[in-house]
Amino acid sequence: MLKEFREFAARGNVIDLAVGVIIGAAFGKVVTSLVTDVIMPPIGMALGRVDFSNLFVALNGASFASLDEAKKAGAPTLNYGLFVNTCLEFLIVAFAVFLVVKQVNRLKGPVMVDARDCPFCLTKIPLKASRCSSCTSEIKAV
């Protein structure tokens, strides 16, 4: 069992996955800081000195000056400002992942197609084949 585990852990894709998770967690912290400390303050200033992390509704009807006060009082709150921050963080991470995947796909180059589907049985056949090897139907060679 130990030997099997060692073989599993030593596979390249397992190590790549572990590195990806660690880098992803660090990247998430960077994006959170970017949104909280760099992007949201100017947006808050443009909207009249609004601190998005303090946008909330106390569900018990009481009035609190900040989210911290409401939490200290034990009031149930609907924290829509934190939700806006989290959505913005998600959009930034999703866009960054999109850019990375796009660059990786570009570096791989165009995919060469060397097979096609038989129109009758949908088996993969070589492009230059004139007959399907599975159903023996005649097919125009490309």
Would you place residue 137 in the very low, low, confident or very high pLDDT band (cuts 50, 70, 90)? confident
Statement to judge: residues 37 and 63 lie in one domain: yes
Mention every residue, 6+ apart, whose C-beta is less than 8 A from residue 85.
35, 36, 40, 52, 53
Domain range spanning residue 142? 112-142
Greater confidence, 45 or 109? 45
Quick one: pLDDT at residue 6? 77
Count CB neighbours of 16 within 10 A. Answer: 10
Statement to judge: residues 67 and 101 lie in one domain: yes
Q: Would you say 75 and 64 are in contact if contact means Cβ atoms under 8 Å apart?
A: yes
Statement to judge: residues 20 and 76 lie in one domain: yes
Quick one: pLDDT at residue 12? 66
Statement to judge: residues 41 and 104 lie in one domain: yes
Statement to judge: residues 76 and 116 lie in one domain: no
| CATH number of the domain encompassing residue 67 | 1.10.1200.120
Q: What integer is the mean pLDDT of 89-111?
A: 84
Quick one: pLDDT at residue 14? 76
Whether residue 77 has pLDDT greater than 90: yes
Statement to judge: residues 129 and 69 lie in one domain: no
Radius of gyration (C-alpha) of the chain in whole angstroms = 27
| Cut 0.85: pTM above it | no
pLDDT digits (tens, 9 = 90+) for 4-37: 877 777 776 777 888 889 988 998 888 888 888 8
pLDDT averaged over the chain?
Answer: 85
Quick one: pLDDT at residue 79? 92
Supply 56's token pair.
């909330």
Statement to judge: residues 43 and 104 lie in one domain: yes
Statement to judge: residues 90 and 116 lie in one domain: no
Percent of the chain exceeding pLDDT 70 equals: 97
Percent of the chain exceeding pLDDT 90 equals: 12
Statement to judge: residues 62 and 116 lie in one domain: no
Supply 38's token pair.
């760099």
